[in-house]
Amino acid sequence: MSDLTILGIESSCDDTGAAIVRGTAGNARVMSNIVMGQAELHAAFGGVVPEIAARAHAEKVDLAVKQALSEAMVSLSEVDAIAVTAGPGLIGGVLSGVMCAKGIAAALGKPLIGVNHLAGHALTPRLTDRLTYPYLMLLVSGGHCQFLIVRGPDEFSRVGGTIDDAPGEAFDKVARLLALPQPGGPSVEERARDGDPKRFRFPRPLLDREGCDMSYSGLKTAVLRARDEVMTDNTLTAQDQADLCAGFQEAVTAVLAEKTRRALRVYMELNPSQPMIAVAGGVAANQAIRASLTTVAEEAGAGFTAPPLKLCTDNGAMIAYAGLERFALGETDDMTLQARPRWPLDKKSAPMIGSGKKGAKA
């Protein structure tokens, strides 16, 4: 098969992304990857405001596309198809991307491909490391957390996930509790480096229950109670803050490690010829979590990979590549493509319980 050139557009939360990916399924390269963040717009609110995010996407998405084309030195006429996140996510932002993609596709007479945002994350290891199917995927981000056995571009089996808050959402909430800047993940990780993870013994939710499901809302509440116990005149010392971060991060890491062990046991029953576990999503940037999961994989006799940090968070390259895999199979959409706030990858399993502020659980 000859190389395909795909334009990818991502706008599911608070990052406006556009990228050009060229190649074939399992052998593609990123020609450009533009991400325009919105952190400053939301900083005063302690989290992402959907209306502000949607307006920013509408203002930036065409600029991101133009910059991606320029950096890749590719013209719109050279693009074979336009791939766009069609869900799940904040509906206003998803709509902005979908309408932009429809406009480009209609104007140029190019194929349109709607991509599940979660599939973009789940297929990223195929882009970065050329993994072969099947592999185990831990998708861990601000709005989602689930273990998936990835068997093909549109064939995913969920073996566990969060029943309430996603880890990234818990990191953000803990950061707000401790007066740390957003996004919470990097802030908590940085403060945790100076803390004692043994000072506060936070709970490890659902470790006493079989299976691979997880829970993080109670852990956040435990941090709140511990914070209130050590505060003096509504003030935390720098050391208290660091110790709380360290204890929280260790609890999240411990839960993810044990649940990953269990998910690996399920996956290894398939007797894959090249067993691999991959992790992606914003929380995959956390170095303590990466190190722990690497150890778990080695113990199970599986390889471990995580995309480069810039491809762990939301970006257009992952959407372009997921679109490339669909397009290579002859799958496209038409102008009836709809933006979807919910869109489960595993169509057979029951939906996970709950809905986080950053996006619907799938």
What pLDDT digit, counting tens, does each position of 313-332 carry?
A: 899 999 999 999 999 999 99
Sign of the four-CA dihedral 124, 126, 129, 132: positive
Prediction pTM value = 0.89
pLDDT confidence band for 73 (50 / 70 / 90) = very high
pLDDT digits (tens, 9 = 90+) for 239-277: 999 999 999 999 999 999 999 999 999 999 999 999 999
Residue whose tokens read 């952190």: 39
Instruction: Assess contact for 305 and 131: CB atoms under 8 A.
Output: yes
How many CB atoms within 10 Å of residue 278? 28
Tell me what percent of the residues of the chain surpass a pLDDT of 70: 96
- Does residue 183 have a cis bond before it (omega within 30 degrees)? yes
pLDDT of residue 359: 43
Predicted confidence (pLDDT) at residue 355 exceeds the cutoff of 60: no
- Maximum C-alpha span of the chain: 68
Give me the pLDDT at residue 351, please: 66
Q: Is a pLDDT exceeding 80 seen at residue 348?
A: no
Of 142 and 205, more confident: 205
- DSSP collapsed to 3 states, 176-219: HHCCCCCCHHHHHHHHHCCCCCCCCCCCCCCCCCCCCCECCHHH
**Average pLDDT estimate for 264-292:** 91
